[in-house]
Amino acid sequence: MNSQNKKKKRQKLNPEAEFRFTLDHCSKTKDLSAAISLYESSPNPTLSLNNLNSLLYICSNSLSNLETRELAIEFGFKLFDLHRSKNSSIFKPNEATLTAVARLASAKGDGDYAFELSKSVKKYALAPKLRTYGPALFCFSDNGMADKAYEVEEHIKSVGLQLEEPELAALLKVSAESGREKKVYEYLHKLRAAVRGVNGSTAEIIESWFNGEKAAMVGLVNWDEDEVKEAILTNGGGWHGLGWLGTGKWIIQRSSVASDGRCCACDQQLTCVDIDRAETEKFAQSVASLAMEREVQSNFKEFQDWIQQNSEYEAVVDGANIGLYQQNFAEGGFSVSQVVKFENVIFCLYSVVV
């Protein structure tokens, strides 16, 4: 299409389409001033939800610029309040609307309003998303309001969402800065469970805690070693979850892991950590559910009941499958010696029934 045809096509746009075309350009270029001029020059101040969201998006993306921050907050709230008040009976924002306004509220320092907006997803029958709760959580955390940040976390969990590294890092930071050692311990383990490897900013928060005076003071002086060993075993190895043990200054050092699995700082060998008992139970239930779905004869439940009645056995070997594994079925092969070999391998670890 040549330039003349493009020009003719542009000339055929009706006012509404022209408005949308220009607004899309403002959104792509993140031009707040042009977006405001476009809105104020429009003969109809009432916007469709799609256009309202685009303008709010431009406002929320202008918050990082100190030159446009205040204007973005003022104009964004003006738009939202105008459309909510003029169409109170029919106005129904979507999740993107609430998230954008929550970000404006957070930038203004009004975490309470940001939290109310995020909770209103239920009022409007919307599916909750983690990003909608972020503005309130970060606002409270950045302003040292630990209890309110914890309240946001509880609400997030109540709607079935899982925190990710940015949210956990914010909660860890406000907990460390307010000297709440139990909460610090809790969020360190939540990070351990949820994140494979933390980013640089999260690592700095962790280092700041362990380099602080509070970290050197907290911790039990006396503890039961057997209880600690049992807790480590219960949790799959690697951690006990009993809280801070011991006092004194921590030695903090960044390091890497060698190809043989040894820490380059302390030369300790990394060990394999198993899943904990809760995860084991969840896995067992999943396997049982799958087995019952695929079992031709519905007798797997009977097998489960038998397992419960014979709980003294730590392992049960399926002799039929072991004996027939890689055998010549044409000759009807069943290897008893194969079963015996397998039994001998694990007999030293478990009480076995075959």
pTM value is 0.77
How confident is the prediction along the chain (354 residues), in pLDDT tens digits per residue?
555 555 555 567 788 889 999 999 999 999 999 999 999 998 877 789 999 999 999 999 999 999 999 999 999 999 999 988 877 677 899 999 999 999 999 999 999 999 999 999 999 999 999 999 999 999 999 999 999 999 999 999 999 999 999 999 999 999 999 999 999 999 999 999 899 889 999 999 999 999 999 999 998 888 899 999 988 888 877 788 899 999 999 999 999 999 999 999 999 988 777 777 778 888 888 877 877 776 665 577 787 788 788 877 777 788 888 888 877 666 667 788 888 888 888 877 665 454
Distance CA 97, CA 56 (A): 7
Sorted by where each begins, the domain ranges of the chain are 12-222, 277-353
What residues contact 239, with CB distance under 8 A and at least 6 apart? 189, 192, 232, 273
Give the C-alpha distances (Å, rounded to integers) separating 120 from 93, 127, 155. Answer: 10, 11, 12
Which one of 3.40.630.150, 3.40.50.11980, 3.40.50.300, 3.40.50.10440 gives the CATH number of domain 277-353? 3.40.50.11980
Instruction: Dig out the tokens for 115 from the structure.
Output: 């939290």
**Do the Cβ atoms of 170 and 148 come closer than 8 Å?**
no
**Do the Cβ atoms of 119 and 112 come closer than 8 Å?**
no
Distance CA 155, CA 152 (A): 5
- Which residue do the tokens 């299409």 mark? 1
Given this chain, do its domains 12-222 and 277-353 carry the same CATH topology? Answer: no
| Calculated CA dihedral for residues 327, 331, 334, 336, nearest 10 degrees | -100
Distance CA 170, CA 201 (A): 10
Instruction: Return the CATH number of the domain spanning residue range 12-222.
Output: 1.25.40.10
Distance CA 89, CA 94 (A): 15
Residue 320's pLDDT is what? 80
